[in-house]
Amino acid sequence: MIRRAGVLHPYMTAYSILDRSLVRRGSAPAAALRETVEFARRAEELGYHRFWVSEHHSVPGVAGSAPTVLAAAVAAATSRIRVGTGGVMLPNHRPLVVAEQFGVLESLHPGRVDMGLGRSVGFTGGIRRALGHGKDDADRFGDRLAELLGYFTGTQSAHPGVHALPAEGLRPQVFVLAMGAGADIAAEHGLPMVIGGGARMPDAVARYRAAFRPSAWAARPYVIVAADVAVGASAQEAALLHLPEAWATVRSRTGGSFPPLVPAAEIAEMELSGRERAYLDEALKSRIHGTEREVAVALGSLVETSGADEVLVTMNTYDLDRRLDSYRRLAAVFTG
């Protein structure tokens, strides 16, 4: 980390992207998936390190429900950027099937595949029943993770004589999404971790580094910090970029469903109730926005506080051209 013109400049940190394939009003989920693939091509051109997709089920405003399938499409459309998941929710899947899927991905795109794994289960009882899993499956994450890793090393003992082909012998990069006990599980298994910023983040990172056990997957601790980041010609312009996703979050809290994105200008003109305003302020307060210089300062502080090896950026807005411009401006920040 160095200072340029008084700015703590985070150019030595790797920058990556998480895209959740959010749907826009008036558009179909299929369009959101195609936009994700095209966005990945642009991210590669801009020099981002990784491009990850996510797993959500039965959410009207999110098209990303099958991350390994979408990651395969992204990998086929790109040539250099690392591709993966942020993440596959392991409680929803059998470890054998996850190993087979990532074995196929790594076989077809050797040296480019990331297996990001999370502990979340379906948000509602109906979704959990449809997936065939319950809330207590999250508590067995450590055992499922050990089984999954064992399929790649050929050492899994949960099901003697069972082999995951073509996964056995392959080594995609593995990451644990550090929600709740995730940091401790990542340290125990010697895996890199991904964590969101926030008040608890420094303690979780310190605990992870102190307890980390080197493994065949990672020789040292590796921390990716996730952040919502928008960059514009002015701070006001950048702040507006966050509004569509933040408002969808408000709608999910007040109406029970995360809807398709709507234009920022439309949201800015709404007369909100006190409850809606409070939720919107809450949804916006941890997001980073500003000009290139302002964002460089904020990211420099985040990297200094966390000691992050990498920053995983997410930002979705209604206007696709403005989204791309923001990521282009951010690339100018981290390339110096």
For the stretch 181-200, pLDDT in tens is: 889 999 999 999 999 988 78
Owning domain of residue 141: 2-335
Neighbours of 180 (CB within 10 A): 13
Express each pLDDT in 280-289 by its tens digit: 999 999 999 9
Q: Quick one: average pLDDT of 22-30?
A: 97
- Measured CA distances, 98 to 119, 162, 194, 211, 271 (Å): 14, 14, 19, 27, 46
Confidence of residue 133 (pLDDT cuts 50, 70, 90): confident
Neighbours of 128 (CB within 10 A): 18
CB 291 within 8 A of CB 231: yes
In DSSP terms, 76 is beta-bridged to: none
Confidence of residue 124 (pLDDT cuts 50, 70, 90): confident
**Alpha-carbon gap, residue 82 to 48, rounded angstroms:** 9
Provide the pLDDT for residue 137.
67
Non-local (6+) Cβ contacts of 10 within 8 A are 1, 296, 299, 300, 302, 303, 311, 333, 334
Provide the pLDDT for residue 130.
86
CA pseudo-torsion sign 286, 327, 68, 216: negative
Question: Tokens 């297996």 — which residue?
Answer: 115
Express each pLDDT in 135-170 by its tens digit: 776 778 999 999 999 999 999 999 999 999 999 999
CB 47 within 8 A of CB 331: yes
Confidence of residue 291 (pLDDT cuts 50, 70, 90): very high
Confidence of residue 10 (pLDDT cuts 50, 70, 90): low
Pairing of strands 310-314, 82-85: unpaired
Among the ranges given (120-129, 182-191, 314-323), the one the predictor scored with the smallest mean pLDDT:
120-129
Q: At 237, which CATH number?
A: 3.20.20.30
Question: What pTM value is reported for the model?
Answer: 0.94
Express each pLDDT in 61-91 by its tens digit: 999 999 999 999 999 999 999 999 999 999 9
**Does residue 293 register a pLDDT over 80?**
yes
Question: Tokens 């408000």 — which residue?
Answer: 250
List the alpha helices (DSSP H) in the chain: 29-46, 67-77, 95-108, 125-131, 141-153, 182-189, 201-211, 235-255, 264-268, 274-284, 292-306, 320-335
Question: Tokens 């919502």 — which residue?
Answer: 228
Q: Can you give the C-alpha Rg of the chain in angstroms?
A: 20
Query: Which residue has better confidence, 69 or 6?
Result: 69
Domain count, the chain: 1
Provide the pLDDT for residue 6.
41
- Measured CA distances, 299 to 176, 243, 327, 329 (Å): 22, 20, 14, 14
Among the ranges given (6-10, 32-36, 148-152, 325-329), the one the predictor scored with the smallest mean pLDDT:
6-10
